[in-house]
Chain A
Amino acid sequence: MSVIYILIAASIFVAIIFFIAFLISIKRGQYDDVCTPAIRMLFEDELVNTSENPKRISKNNQL
């Protein structure tokens, strides 16, 4: 039954990792602006028409 020590230690360890991740996310300002990223993620290839940059990047990625 002493496996419970390991289990509890493991569960709390995992919980604390997530908790620390949450604290770091606050500190880095992820909750400062909860509105713009939702719109920003919908932008993608709007610039492709006239600029070569996106194409070049995608070629490099393929190589």
Chain B
Amino acid sequence: MENQNCYHCGNTLGKKIKYIDDKRFCCNGCKTVYEIFSTNGMFAYYNLETTPGAPPSEINGKFEYLNNQDIVSKLLDFNENDISIITLFIHHIHCSSCIWVLENLNKLIPAIRSSQVDFSKKKVSITYKNNETSLKDIVTMLSSIGYEPTISLDDYTREKTEKKDYSILYKLGIAGFAFGNVMFLSFPEYFEISEYWLEKYKHLFRGLMFIFSLPVVFYAAGDYFKSAFKGLRNRILNIDVPIALGILVLFLRSTIEILLDLGSGFFDSLTGLVFFLLVGKFFQQKTYSFLSFERDYKSYFPIAVTRLTRTSNPNQTIEENIQLYTIKKGDTLLIRHGELIPVDCILAKGTAAIDYSFVTGESETLSKNIGDKLYAGGKQSDGAIEVEVLKTVQQSYLTKLWSKDAFTKQQKNQYVTLIDITSKYFTISILGIALVSTIFWLIYDSAKALNVFTAVLIIACPCALALARPFALGNIIRIFGRNQFYIKNADVIEELTKIDTIIFDKTGTITTTKKSNISYQGNPLSHWEEKILKNSLRNSSHPLSRKLYDLLADQDIMTADDYEEIVGKGIEAHYNGHHIKIGSPQYTGADLKKKESDTAVHIQTNNSYKGFYRFKNEYRSGMKDLFHNLQQDYKLSVLSGDNDGEKSYLKSILPTKVNLLFNHKPDQKLEHIKSLQDNSAKVLMIGDGLNDAGALAQSNVGIVVSDNTNTFSPACDAILQSSKMTLLPQFLKLSKETIRIIKSSIVLSFLYNGIGLYFAVTGQLKPVIAAILMPLSSISIVIYVTLLTNWSARRIKSPSEE
């Protein structure tokens, strides 16, 4: 079996096998990469991993813009004297061979001083001598060995000086350091043995504990004070209010105790509390550095385009690469094969076959004639074209979508979490208990009143409560991540449980973009007809021709006597007296009584109509079950930008209750979700492309389905591997289960608080009791939620994996 695959990239070998050193390759590209590596002594590339490579992509003219020094200098991280540093994002980084080869790039270009890979971010940072090589050479070389970097408009506009936020690590370090040392210093006094040496040194010990607690209170716990203050100013009693109050009271009372020599204080509990809280915070911050949840159109758009300037000589034009934002109305641009159209424009020259799947979700390419309007976001897939610019980048139809409300307002930060609601009542009742018990002690034994008041606030500090959520949700995020469901942050899980409406995009979400189902209808084709059909298609570069060509059985090669391709119509060819026409219904004389909204290629031979090949989207497997599973608990709809050609088919496979909506443009999708939300629906949007970006942003939770999580996806709350889509009901169930676990752990933490309150209210709270109770409750809550979430995750996953 292994021999059937290309030695370089692992793809199945086709007809044209290339041999070198008794290795087999699927194409010339792979063979060339192998030759580059083997002649440069980098053979180990193939030994570290089998078939690590990717076929190199065509680059003709693609990186010409890197000759423009203004663009290059914007991309560089560092550029001084003769040394430059560039960080490039490369999709293909996936194995140890990739790391090895990218860190030995100086074998291929000696001017590269060093290169370092960040595997989890899929980035390589290259230091090179800029007087000996150029960025363009490096990028071209990388592309030629199958590691084409992705350079988008996003790289150009992003601030290079963004600083990494290490504050959580610093805070955790300080709290942990102080906690350890304070524990060690407070230990002798736990047993209240009145020994001579203890009496003598206790002031030293207490003083040191005080010093250690200072950075903990004033730096490590700073966020809790800020958040509590913010909450109070907005009249919200969030969870940080009782925490901040607890920390403050702990610190003040302990300080007064050691100053007046009343006792040893609660510095151990104080530092431990902050440490555990920060651990919880840290645990909840699961980030997927190779994913981005915040992309907009900038990540898709190129940095530069080729502008054509006519000179006085009408046959001569000057090509120059200009930055995207400098495009002006009236400019003439050259769009090469496979390039994205960055602005709204008019086709001026060439044959345009535009793939708008990015923008509309419409899966098939559209042919355009000279003078037709082209919208930004389309991908040209039929040779090079020239276009005249109508609008600048920011004013184009697609990019305007990002100025909608859904993208500007930060609505998603306003999640009201379960803990926030609980903490409101919690804080009020704690303050109540503290007041009542203080009043009681004021009457009964006024000396103890202040003692009891502070003790209640200390013991009521909801450490366990505050830890339950981050640990439960943090653990679930990891479990989801292992099942290739990547969540942006913990709030998304809580929001998932409130969903009552699920909206699916059609193209690319419930259908796959990879293969289409091609079926033939009409009079059967004879052998020679198939033969000339295949041979005619060979010459055509139209995407439908290519797809059909790949499907048809191999035929002997024939040369056409006469071949003509008419843009927007089809192909006509003559072979030994036989005549064939392939293309649109009108062109081939098809009988159009029945309106076909599917994409089809019609065939006519010797002036008689034969039939057509219909291109249907392939639906992902398991969609039927998925919809049937979900319809019991959720309102479902399919919202597509596509035409309604498959409406009857969809109706036949999906449950009757599913609402089917077609012909929705990106902004209409957004409005549709908004109108649902106005009727107090909580909407989960599942989409895939840029055309869903508005809907994803507007929805309560937006999930992007992606065939390959390494490729770009629009801004969203979660990214789901398409093969795991059938697990969606389980994911939703598990989210609900997690919230139930958190609720039960809240009950458990109240139990601990009850025990603590008994000691506090009766005036018996000693540092040792606090020091035992606090870590005990925290650790047991953490264990409780971790075990339970793992257990319910296993139980939910098992039926689907069988």
Contacts and interface: CB of A to CB of B under 8 A. Distances in A.
A15 B173 contact: no
Interface in B30-44: 40-44
B100 A43 contact: yes
Contact of A15 (B47, B48, B169, B177): B177
A63 interface: no
B121 A40 contact: no
Interface string A24-36: 0011010111111
A38 B23 CA distance: 31
Interface residues of A, number: 27
B100 A32 contact: no
B119 A19 contact: no
Interface string B162-181: 00101001100100010011
A1 B197 contact: yes
B540 to A, nearest CB: 45
A39 B99 contact: yes
B118 A32 contact: yes
A36 B120 CA distance: 7
Given A15-B177, A23-B170, A23-B173, A33 B120 contact: yes
A35 B120 contact: yes
A7 B42 CA distance: 56
Contacts of B320: none
Given A40-B99, A47-B107, A49-B41, A33 B181 contact: no
B594 interface: no
A33 to B, nearest CB: 5
A39 B119 contact: yes
A46 B100 contact: yes
B686 interface: no
Interface stretch (B52-60, B200-208, B351-359, B639-647): B200-208
Nearest to A36: B119
A36 B208 contact: no
Contacts of B257: none
Given A8-B208, A27-B166, A46-B44, A35 B177 contact: no
A15 B181 CA distance: 9
Nearest to A42: B96
B44 A47 contact: yes
A6 interface: no
B103 interface: yes
Contacts of B180: 15
Contact of B118 (A4, A23, A33): A33
Contacts, number: 72
> What bracket does the count of chain B residues touching chain A fall in?
20 to 34
B104 interface: yes
B173 A50 contact: no
B208 A12 contact: yes
B170 A26 contact: yes
Contact of A36 (B44, B117, B173, B197): B117
Nearest to B174: A19
Interface string B107-151: 100000000111111000000000000000000000000000000
A33 B119 contact: yes
B479 to A, nearest CB: 20
A19 B177 contact: yes
Contacts of A49: 41, 43-44
B118 A26 contact: no
Contacts of B103: 40, 43
Contacts of B116: 36
A35 B119 contact: yes
Contacts of B100: 43, 46
Nearest to A44: B44
Contacts of B181: 12, 15
A46 to B, nearest CB: 3
Nearest to B45: A46
Contacts of A34: 120
A38 B176 CA distance: 26
Nearest to A31: B169
Interface in B1-56: 40-44, 47-48
Nearest to B121: A33
B274 to A, nearest CB: 16
Contact of B173 (A22, A32, A40): A22
Nearest to B180: A15
A61 interface: no
A51 interface: yes
Contacts of B99: 36, 39-40, 43
A60 B777 CA distance: 61
Contacts of A31: 166, 169
A31 B96 CA distance: 20
Nearest to A51: B41
B382 to A, nearest CB: 41
B94 to A, nearest CB: 12
A15 to B, nearest CB: 6
B118 A39 contact: no
Nearest to B95: A39
A8 B204 contact: yes
Contacts of A22: 173, 177
A26 B42 contact: no
A50 B43 CA distance: 9
Contact of B41 (A15, A32, A43, A47): A47
Nearest to B103: A40
A33 B289 CA distance: 10
A4 B200 CA distance: 11
A12 B204 CA distance: 13
B104 A47 contact: yes
A26 B47 CA distance: 35
B18 to A, nearest CB: 23
Given A8-B208, A27-B166, A43-B96, 8 more contacts: A12-B208, A31-B166, A36-B99, A36-B116, A36-B119, A43-B100, A47-B41, A47-B107
The 9 closest A-B pairs by CB, nearest first: A50-B41, A46-B44, A36-B119, A35-B120, A33-B118, A35-B119, A19-B177, A39-B96, A26-B169
Interface of B: 40-44, 47-48, 96, 99-100, 103-104, 107, 116-121, 164, 166, 169-170, 173, 177, 180-181, 197, 200-201, 204, 208
12 contacts: A23-B170, A32-B118, A33-B118, A36-B118, A36-B120, A40-B117, A43-B96, A47-B104, A47-B107, A50-B41, A51-B41, A51-B107
